[in-house]
Homo-oligomer: A and B are copies of this chain.
Amino acid sequence: MTLASDRLAPMANAIRALSMDAVQAANSGHPGMPMGMADVATVLFAKFLKFDPSAPKWADRDRFVLSAGHGSMLVYSLLHLTGYASPTLEDIKNFRQLGSVCAGHPENFLIEGIECTTGPLGQGVAMAVGMAMAERHLAATFGDDLVDHNTWVIAGDGCLMEGVNHEAIGLAGTLKLGRLKVLWDDNKITIDGDASLSTSEDIPARYRASGWDVFECDGHDFADIERALGQAAASDKPTLVACRTLIGKGSPNKQGGHDVHGSPLGDAEIAATRENIGWAHAPFEIPAEILADWRSLGEKGAKLRAEWDARLAASDKGAELTRRMNGELPSGEEAAKTFAGWLESETTVATRKASENVLNVLAPLVPEMVGGSADLTGSNNTKAKCQSAFSAKDYAGRYVYYGIREFGMSAAMNGMALHGGVIPYGGTFLIFSDYARNAIRMSALQQTRVIYVLTHDSIGLGEDGPTHQPVETVMSLRLIPNLYVFRPADVIETAECWQIALESAETPSVLALTRQNLPQLRTSGEMLSARGAYTLRRAEGDRKVILIATGSEVELAVKVQGALQAQGIGADVVSMPCMELFEAQDAAYKHEVLPNDPSILRVSIEAGVTHGWERFTAFSRNGGLNIGLDRFGASAPAKVLFERFGFTVDAIVPQVLEKLSS
- Tell me whether B197 and A401 are in contact (CB under 8 A): yes
A201's contact among B157, B192, B211, by CB below 8 Å, is which?
Answer: B211
Residues of B within 8 A of A197 (CB): 389, 401, 403
- Tell me whether B482 and A190 are in contact (CB under 8 A): no
- Tell me whether A472 and B481 are in contact (CB under 8 A): yes
Residues of B within 8 A of A586 (CB): none
Residues of B within 8 A of A190 (CB): 375, 403-404
Residues of B within 8 A of A635 (CB): 96-98, 100, 103-105, 107
Residues of B within 8 A of A119 (CB): 464-465, 467-468
Q: Does A623 contact B (CB under 8 A)?
A: yes
Q: Does A388 contact B (CB under 8 A)?
A: no
> What's the Cα separation between A543 and B29 when bound, in Å?
46
> What's the Cα separation between A99 and B640 when bound, in Å?
11
Q: Which residue of B lies closest to A623 (CB)?
A: B619
Residues of B within 8 A of A471 (CB): 481
Q: Does A117 contact B (CB under 8 A)?
A: yes
> What's the Cα separation between A480 and B611 when bound, in Å?
10
* Total identical chains: 2
Q: Does A577 contact B (CB under 8 A)?
A: no
Q: Does A120 contact B (CB under 8 A)?
A: yes
Residues of B within 8 A of A631 (CB): 481-482
Q: Does A435 contact B (CB under 8 A)?
A: yes
Q: Which residue of B lies closest to A121 (CB)?
A: B404
A375's contact among B191, B206, B210, B611, by CB below 8 Å, is which?
Answer: B191
Q: How far is the CB of A654 from chain B (nearest CB, A)?
A: 20
- Tell me whether B435 and A438 are in contact (CB under 8 A): yes
> What's the Cα separation between A466 and B106 when bound, in Å?
10
Q: Which residue of B lies closest to A438 (CB)?
A: B434
Residues of B within 8 A of A479 (CB): 472, 475-476, 609, 611-612
Residues of B within 8 A of A157 (CB): 404
Q: Does A315 contact B (CB under 8 A)?
A: no
Q: List 26 A-B contacts (CB under 8 A).
A: A28-B637, A97-B635, A97-B640, A98-B644, A104-B635, A105-B464, A119-B467, A120-B434, A161-B405, A163-B407, A170-B199, A174-B201, A191-B376, A197-B401, A198-B401, A198-B403, A200-B211, A205-B205, A206-B206, A206-B210, A407-B435, A444-B632, A476-B476, A476-B480, A612-B614, A618-B619
Enumerate chain A interface residues (CB-CB to B < 8 A): 26, 28-29, 69-70, 96-100, 103-105, 107, 117-122, 157-158, 161-167, 170-171, 173-174, 190-193, 197-203, 205-206, 208-211, 373, 375-379, 389, 401-405, 407-408, 431-432, 434-435, 437-438, 441-442, 444-445, 462-468, 471-472, 475-476, 478-482, 609, 611-612, 614-615, 618-619, 623, 630-632, 634-637, 640-641, 644
- Pick the 4 closest A-B CB pairs, nearest first: A163-B163, A198-B403, A618-B618, A166-B166
